[in-house]
Amino acid sequence: MIEKKKSWKEIPIGGMITEAGNASKYMTGGWRIFRPEKNKIKCINCLFCWIYCPDSSIIVKDEKMVGFDYEHCKGCGICAKVCPVKCIDMKREEK
């Protein structure tokens, strides 16, 4: 998750970012204290979590919620809060 930092000679001048959409390279998952996990309650695939997730970290395939992008999920818990059937638990990260 930790990339090698570049020297002043290797980066664009003036703080400019010359690559579009590179925010996804910034792994914000390391900030997390609580991690979202699905529990035994059956998910109804309403996709409220997908709509509300501020970091686009809900993975959806074929219109079904299939999991979390833990490299970017900051553990804010919004998904768990908005879930109408309460099938997401927030669990403390072990280390």
Distance CA 22, CA 53 (A): 19
Distance CA 29, CA 76 (A): 11
Shortest distance, CB of residue 12 to another protein, whole angstroms? 8
Residue 63 interacts with another protein (CB under 8 A): yes or no:
no
Distance CA 51, CA 56 (A): 8
Residue 33 interacts with another protein (CB under 8 A): yes or no:
no
Tell me the three state secondary structure of residue 45: coil
C-beta of 15 vs 84, nearer to another protein: 15
Residue 16 interacts with another protein (CB under 8 A): yes or no:
yes
Residue 92 interacts with another protein (CB under 8 A): yes or no:
no
